[in-house]
Amino acid sequence: MTHDPHRPGPAEISRRGVFAVAGVTVAAASAPVAAAQGLAESESPPPVTVTLVVNGQPQRLTLDARVTLLDALREHLHMTGPKKGCDHGQCGACTVLLNGRRINSCLSLAVMHDGDQVTTIEGLGSPEHLHPMQAAFVKHDGFQCGYCTPGQICSAVGMLDEIRRGVPSHVTADLAQVGYSEDEVRERMSGNICRCAAYPNIVAAIAEVHGEQPA
């Protein structure tokens, strides 16, 4: 029998056949993934009740267990002082004080803090009675657009408390002698980003508050 050069032999696969086999393979591989995604969407975790003491006031919330502390404050309690900047713990705009210590609220789940004390910029002071750090920021023009300012101020308050408690930083030369210096301030505040670059004024505001506080 004469072989027809235009007709594929038994060992040859047409391009259409290759695509058909590939399509079946991809569909088979993606089916378990799609099923898992559908299961995850249909089985959301049950809501959890948590009590946060925010700026001195107990707040009882029923939340999805995946809600961050930042979203609980902003979306559920309407505390809009903490800002959602990067939402990855890189800019510091969401900084609040948790039991007196500063944290990035976007990186912490609300359900982790049942009964904890949370202080936002709203709880530090009021327009009529500014916190010393708020007053110093105004005096030294430590902000321009103001978006990062609530986080900057909360972080500055927590940072000075760290120095008073003797908590060392990366630039502390003598771990037994933790003290105040401009290098310490710049290192400790490096997690709070100011896009307007008001850093010299922020450092000046912190220095004034430190000078007014008892050792």
Side-by-side strand order, sheet with 101-104: 57-63, 48-54, 117-119, 95-98, 101-104
| DSSP code per residue over 131-186 | -HHHHHHHHTT--SS-SSHHHHHHHHHHHHHHHHTT---TT-S-TT-----HHHHH
**C-alpha 94: how far from its chain's center?**
6
Q: Report if residue 110 sits inside a domain.
A: yes
In this prediction the pTM is: 0.79
* pLDDT tens-place string over residues 157-187: 999 999 999 999 999 999 999 999 999 999 9
Count the Cβ atoms, other than its own, within 10 Å of residue 41.
Answer: 8
Q: Domain range for residue 82?
A: 48-212
**Number of domains the chain is built from:** 1
Q: Report if residue 25 sits inside a domain.
A: no
For range 60-87, the mean pLDDT: 97
Q: Report if residue 111 sits inside a domain.
A: yes
Please report the pLDDT score of residue 192 as a whole number.
98
Q: Report if residue 4 sits inside a domain.
A: no
Residues 75/84, Cβ–Cβ less than 8 Å:
no
Share of the chain above pLDDT 70, in %: 79
